[in-house]
């Protein structure tokens, strides 16, 4: 029964995340073949995940099921490695080498940098909470 509950929570998170991803793709349409929507989804997910794990979980004592729903369900369906690889291959096939280079670089390096920023954001929020208690 517990696994069925977790499965249901993941379905809810995935439903929300995939719909957010679709909405985001309507807002950030590809420009000159550059997959801006996928980039925005992956970078924003890379920013939010460390904050979720390192701050919200500790600050609000979120349950394992809640974290699983938000991280694996919602963010897992919102961010998209498969679309990233498909977009990269499309740029490669079309001979858009410069866009491919920028897309790969910004996604990989940018993802790492915004993940660092997410960790910094979590730490600064935790410090602010701690200093308010004194």
- Binding positions for Na(+): 76, 79
4, with CB counted inside 10 A (0-12, 13-18, 19+), is exposed
- In whole angstroms, what is the distance from residue 123 CA to residue 102 CA? 30
Known binding residues: 76, 79
Q: Are 10 and 73 in contact (CB under 8 A)?
A: yes
CA distance linking residue 31 with residue 56, whole number of Å: 35
């Amino acid at each position: 029964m517990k696994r069925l509950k977790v499965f249901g929570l993941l379905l809810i998170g995935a439903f929300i995340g995939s719909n957010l991803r679709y909405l985001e793709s309507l807002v950030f349409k590809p420009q000159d073949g550059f997959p801006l929507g996928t980039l925005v989804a992956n970078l924003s997910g890379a920013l939010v995940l460390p904050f979720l794990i390192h701050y919200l979980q500790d600050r609000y004592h979120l349950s394992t099921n809640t974290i699983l729903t938000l991280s694996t369900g919602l963010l897992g369906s919102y961010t998209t490695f498969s679309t990233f690889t498909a977009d990269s291959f499309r740029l490669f096939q079309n001979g858009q080498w410069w866009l491919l280079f920028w897309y790969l670089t910004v996604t990989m390096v940018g993802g790492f940098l915004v993940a660092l920023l997410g960790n910094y954001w979590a730490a600064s929020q935790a410090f602010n909470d701690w200093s308010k208690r004194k």
